Structure 1
Amino acid sequence: MSTRPAPSEARIGFFAGMGAYLIWGVLPFYLRLLQGVSAPDVLAHRIIWSVLVVVLLIAWLKGWDKLAAALRQPRLLLMLFASALCITANWFIYTWAVLDGHVIDTSLGYFINPLVSVLFGVVLLGERLLRLQWLAVGLAALGVAVLAIERGALPLVSLGLALSFGCYGLIRKQAAVDAATGLFIETLMLAPVALWWIASTPQGFTGWPPVTIATLAFGGLATAVPLMLFGIAARRLPLSTLGLMQYVAPTMVLIEAVLIFGEVLDPARLAAFCCIWAGLAVYTVSLRRTTPAAAA
């Protein structure tokens, strides 16, 4: 029996996923507006403003019954707590990296991420890979190894982003909850720590210039909207398909880093990118070969 989603559901998942990745593709421009604000401050504000955005969305959708039902499920709450920790780690690493001038490293991380998602699908969800698909995963691993050998250390920013978001996508795929409810519970769990952090800083909520406050507040939309779209996609698409869609955001970010932010694509990074791009190309070819059989 086929486990593929219905065409209408797959279509919704596709457009939701593409919307999420396009927004994430331009996120460095938003974060660059906050240079001078520390990464923990940006993260705390993103969490608090995201809670407010999602509350308004749930009120508009009249989703309080779904929220109440979700809050009565201990296993679901445990899963959402785990996904909240994963996305917090991802947000912090990404915010720090962009503010500190490591945008290329974030792009590398999100190029690695699709193949991490593929590997998770095999190891944890029992998805099967062909030989070409294993070759794709191996090429990505080779890219990481090249960079590690040249630098004498693992590319921690890139791996941290790939693993944290891969884990987030895996958990949210398994969590039986709609996107808005899931995101609200996640951010609500994080809100007490975020409030404590903001209250402990000299600026608090109102000590920043008005433009900075407005920019920080916009982070609620910039954070909540793509994550809700991603949640919609994660429930409707196979993990491997969702992973392949992630080419969009890192491609945009890499172009921005080199052409706009002036970062240097050194030989080691270029070699790593080439290995990973080759892996993604091989995996894409393997999917095209299996599509007719899968559709039968």
Structure 2
Amino acid sequence: MNQTRLGYLYGFGAYLIWGFFPIYLKLLRPAGPVEILAHRIVWSVVFVALLLAAMRNIGFLRALARRPRALAAIAAAAALIAVNWGTYIYGVNSDRVVETALGYFINPLVVVLIGVFVLRERLRPAQWAALGVGGLAVAVLTVDYGRLPWLALVLAFSFAGYGLVKKRLGLPAAEGLFVESAVLALPALAYLGWLGRQGEATFGHGSAGHTALLVLAGAATAIPLLLFAGAANRLPLTGLGMLQYLAPILQLACGVLVFHEPMPPARLAGFGLVWVALVVFTVDAVRHTRRTRAQARAAALVPAEAR
């Protein structure tokens, strides 16, 4: 199997797991959102530590300890992903799966927005048009919900910010997840200890299946991230960009078809505007990538012709 096909298999695997993740989170009831988040952090550390030990790759920690700026950036990334995970768990367990799906639909538009205001990037006209349609979609959904879709916005901005920090750090997926989870592990363990003293912990007090599902939260977190890293290393950005819509489509389907959340006409119209914005954004990105490659090939041919 060639590397491109393998990349697409990895990408489909990652986004399929993320797409059906709401079903897994629902199975973790009666554990509350913060307890689930704490277990997700703790068991992620355990799972990835075992993986790194098997790969004999723990030595990277010594080099990282000599980079204080990198450690500060990792702490920022850990805070952002904790907000993202916690918000997502809360959204799923409060029967707002549709709104969480919206967050990941608008995430690419938020990434572009961050590029403008943080990285001072200049946008092409089609990108401005996509942002304008996306803003109109948020306005329509605000009217429909009777409030800002804050849960979707927190998910979109926290994940976009996390992606920006991770891009600048440049750590491999397993090492990055281990350090980020390790930063959060002490507060998570402290919370779980406090919950146990209050007699409110569900871990070990419910069925064996419930306890096993909480332990598996580490693997359920790490495996799609590792698959995504494998896809990112093998696929062009356009291919990876197309795959990223698979997860929110499946999450939306879970919310409407599995959990029977309402989708009134105004909400559907808001989602429709988001999809229009994403079509404009994606088509422009594909055309820009093809144009850039064609120009690069033409530039590479000029010296040969001159000789």
**TM-score under structure 2 normalisation?**
0.86
- Distance (whole Å) between structure 1 residues aligned to residue 6 and residue 121 of structure 2: 23
Structure 1 unpaired stretches of 5+ = 1-6
Letter of the structure 2 residue corresponding to residue 215 of structure 1: L
Question: What pairs up with 1:38-57 in 2 under 5 angstroms?
Answer: 38-57=32-51
Distance verdict in 2 for CA 1:191–1:157, change over 3 Å: same
Identical-residue share of aligned pairs (%): 46
Letter of the structure 1 residue corresponding to residue 172 of structure 2: D
2:15 to 17, 21, 32: 21
Which residue of structure 1 aligns with residue 287 of structure 2?
Answer: 289
Which residue of structure 2 aligns with residue 248 of structure 1?
Answer: 246
Give yes or no for contact 1:21–1:248 (8 Å, CA) kept in 2.
yes
Give yes or no for contact 2:100–2:151 (8 Å, CA) kept in 1.
yes
Deviation digits for residues 69-97 of structure 1 (CA, Å, limit 9, x no counterpart):
12221111111111111111111111111
Which residue of structure 2 aligns with residue 210 of structure 1?
Answer: 208
Question: What pairs up with 1:32-71 in 2 under 5 angstroms?
Answer: 32-71=26-65
Structure 2 unpaired stretches of 5+ = 295-307
**Following TM superposition, by how much is the alpha carbon of 1:218 offset from its aligned partner in structure 2, in angstroms?**
0.9
Which residue of structure 2 aligns with residue 274 of structure 1?
Answer: 272
Give yes or no for contact 1:183–1:228 (8 Å, CA) kept in 2.
no
Question: What pairs up with 1:180-259 in 2 under 5 angstroms?
Answer: 180-201=174-195, 202=199, 203=201, 205-230=203-228, 244-259=242-257
Deviation digits for residues 53-76 of structure 1 (CA, Å, limit 9, x no counterpart):
000111122111222212221111
- Distance (whole Å) between structure 1 residues aligned to residue 115 and residue 238 of structure 2: 7
Give yes or no for contact 1:115–1:243 (8 Å, CA) kept in 2.
no
Which residue of structure 1 aligns with residue 127 of structure 2?
Answer: 133
- Distance (whole Å) between structure 1 residues aligned to residue 156 and residue 241 of structure 2: 11
Which residue of structure 1 aligns with residue 24 of structure 2?
Answer: 30
Letter of the structure 2 residue corresponding to residue 65 of structure 1: G
3-state DSSP class of the match of 2:118? helix
Distance verdict in 2 for CA 1:264–1:205, change over 3 Å: closer
Give yes or no for contact 2:102–2:152 (8 Å, CA) kept in 1.
yes
**Following TM superposition, by how much is the alpha carbon of 1:106 offset from its aligned partner in structure 2, in angstroms?**
0.7
- Distance (whole Å) between structure 1 residues aligned to residue 147 and residue 203 of structure 2: 39
Distance verdict in 2 for CA 1:102–1:236, change over 3 Å: same
Aligned-pair Cα RMSD in Å = 2.5
Give yes or no for contact 1:258–1:264 (8 Å, CA) kept in 2.
yes
**Following TM superposition, by how much is the alpha carbon of 1:121 offset from its aligned partner in structure 2, in angstroms?**
3.0
Letter of the structure 2 residue corresponding to residue 220 of structure 1: G
- Distance (whole Å) between structure 2 residues aligned to residue 236 and residue 69 of structure 1: 27
- Distance (whole Å) between structure 2 residues aligned to residue 262 and residue 41 of structure 1: 25
Count residues with an aligned counterpart.
289
Which residue of structure 2 aligns with residue 4 of structure 1?
Answer: none
Which residue of structure 2 aligns with residue 81 of structure 1?
Answer: 75
Letter of the structure 1 residue corresponding to residue 145 of structure 2: R
Which residue of structure 2 aligns with residue 3 of structure 1?
Answer: none
Give yes or no for contact 1:108–1:250 (8 Å, CA) kept in 2.
yes
Larger radius of gyration between Structure 1 and Structure 2: 2
Distance verdict in 2 for CA 1:135–1:11, change over 3 Å: farther
**TM-score under structure 1 normalisation?**
0.89
3-state DSSP class of the match of 1:200? helix
Letter of the structure 2 residue corresponding to residue 247 of structure 1: Y
Deviation digits for residues 137-195 of structure 1 (CA, Å, limit 9, x no counterpart):
21111111111133342101111111111111111111132111111110001001110
